[in-house]
Amino acid sequence: MKPSIPSSAINRRGLLSTLAVLPAFGTVLTESAEAETTPPGGVLPSWNDGPAKQAIVDFVRATTDQASPKFVPPNERIAEFDQDGTLWVEHPVYTQFMYCLERVGPLVKEKPALKDREPFSTVLSGDREAIAKMSMRDLFEILLATQSWMTVEEFSADVRQWLATAKHPRWKRPYTELVYQPMLEVLSYLRANGYKTFIATGGSNSFVREYSESVYGIPPEQVAGTSQPVKYGYDKDQRPVLTWEPKLVLDNLEAGKIENFWLEYGCRPNAAFGNSSSDDQQMLEFVKAGSGARLSGLVQHDDATREYAYVPAQELPETKIGTLSQAMYDMAKKQDWIIISMKNDWKRIFTFE
């Protein structure tokens, strides 16, 4: 079912009128402009001036100025980012699942019984439309079948090798280049102002950690994701090894993204950015409900030319990922999240443009 947001409901005028009734933002800006640290390259250079950029700058100024009632001590400054659709492209299929799908062929050679079993037979059919319609449960079954029984080092090496050669079907570039330049600037800007930046992803922590530092400047230990358990054992030379097991122990889908963030890091972030109704809603709601200055940002995929328009554009096949529901849009408006229009707020999408 397609979400029913009328295209007129998602625009900057609506957001502008909301912000206009918030005098606090302007006040903070005037009082504390000198407290903020400008990263090399300037403050959010790929962002157009507008309420989204302004809200990010106001948040940083309010929380880093010691004279501000919303000042946050440096050791408590935490920002959480969804990855797929928020930091990099998630269409036509999540990058990690591209990796998994390519491993189904070799897997079936090893275990021929899987050939006639769903969801493996659909993957082997090569029917792109059918693959795109697979449920999250199907995707996770494939993930567990292709990402298990390897030591942590073997898996790491395999992911790195794949990332070095795989290319996105539309841009013909490595996936690690399909990162949103404006969001990289948000990460740098926050870090320049003392924030620790974290990823909370529905994907596997093990996959994202292979490139989080080089691509986002986020160290592996600050990546929370859906996780398989790790099992201690010994290899043939009696050396201790850790092996990924074919189960889920931490499920970061839906509310899991903020539940497990607390489980792993024990705090409510001051800022969070997401894009998906299914998996980011609770995270953004919970962050915004905290005391003091809190920033929840919703990336809206509305640029069919430079990236994708998910909703309400008709040009893409129906997809289960990343759609923005009416309920989430209403929540965003009601709770004063910032809505980030890729089309209007971002001067450019990618670094290579």
- 6-65 positions binding its own copies, by CB under 8 A: none
Residues forming a β-bridge with 241: 233
Q: Which stretch binds its own copies (CB under 8 A): 16-24, 130-138, 250-258, 318-326?
A: 250-258
- Answer yes or no whether residue 223 interacts with its own copies by CB under 8 A: yes
Residue 141 CB partners (closer than 8 Å, separation 6+) = 119
- 140-179 positions binding its own copies, by CB under 8 A: 152
Q: Pick one of 12, 191, 231, 348: the residue that binds its own copies (CB under 8 A).
A: 231
Site size toward its own copies, by CB under 8 A: 39
Binding mask 294-313 for its own copies (x = CB under 8 A): --------------------
Q: Is 71 helix (H, G, I), strand (E, B) or coil?
A: coil
Shortest distance, position 308 Cβ to its own copies, whole Å: 29
Nearer to its own copies, 46 or 206 (CB): 206
Residue type (1 letter), 241: V
Nearer to its own copies, 12 or 231 (CB): 231
Shortest distance, position 92 Cβ to its own copies, whole Å: 28
Q: Pick one of 12, 92, 265, 326: the residue that binds its own copies (CB under 8 A).
A: 265
Q: Pick one of 41, 169, 229, 292: the residue that binds its own copies (CB under 8 A).
A: 229
Shortest distance, position 249 Cβ to its own copies, whole Å: 7
Q: Is 191 helix (H, G, I), strand (E, B) or coil?
A: helix
Tokens standing for 260? 């497990």
Tokens standing for 188? 């740098």
Tokens standing for 66? 């010691």
Q: Pick one of 255, 278, 326, 343: the residue that binds its own copies (CB under 8 A).
A: 255
Shortest distance, position 4 Cβ to its own copies, whole Å: 24
- 185-214 positions binding its own copies, by CB under 8 A: 196, 198, 205-206, 209, 213
- Answer yes or no whether residue 221 interacts with its own copies by CB under 8 A: yes
Shortest distance, position 103 Cβ to its own copies, whole Å: 20
Tokens standing for 263? 């489980």
Residue 12: which of 58, 55, 60 has the closest Cα? 55
Residue 30: which of 62, 55, 74 has the closest Cα? 62
Separation CA 40–CA 37 (nearest Å): 10
Helices (H), the chain: 12-20, 23-31, 51-64, 95-102, 104-110, 120-125, 128-132, 136-146, 152-165, 181-192, 205-208, 256-265, 281-288, 326-334, 342-345
Separation CA 162–CA 194 (nearest Å): 34
Peptide bond into 182 cis (omega under 30): no
- Answer yes or no whether residue 262 interacts with its own copies by CB under 8 A: yes
- Answer yes or no whether residue 267 interacts with its own copies by CB under 8 A: yes
Terminal CA-CA length for the chain = 34
Cβ atoms of residues 85 and 199 within 8 Å: no
- Answer yes or no whether residue 222 interacts with its own copies by CB under 8 A: yes
- Answer yes or no whether residue 260 interacts with its own copies by CB under 8 A: yes
Q: Which stretch binds its own copies (CB under 8 A): 49-57, 102-110, 119-127, 219-227?
A: 219-227
- Answer yes or no whether residue 259 interacts with its own copies by CB under 8 A: yes
Residues forming a β-bridge with 250: 227
Return the ∠ at Cα 302 (arms to 22 and 304), rounded to 5°: 160
Q: Pick one of 266, 305, 315, 334: the residue that binds its own copies (CB under 8 A).
A: 266
Nearer to its own copies, 124 or 248 (CB): 248
Peptide bond into 312 cis (omega under 30): yes
Shortest distance, position 246 Cβ to its own copies, whole Å: 14
**Which parts of this chain interact with its own copies (CB under 8 A)?**
75, 78, 152, 196, 198, 205-206, 209, 213, 219-224, 227, 229-232, 239-240, 242, 249-250, 255, 258-260, 262-267, 282, 285-286, 289
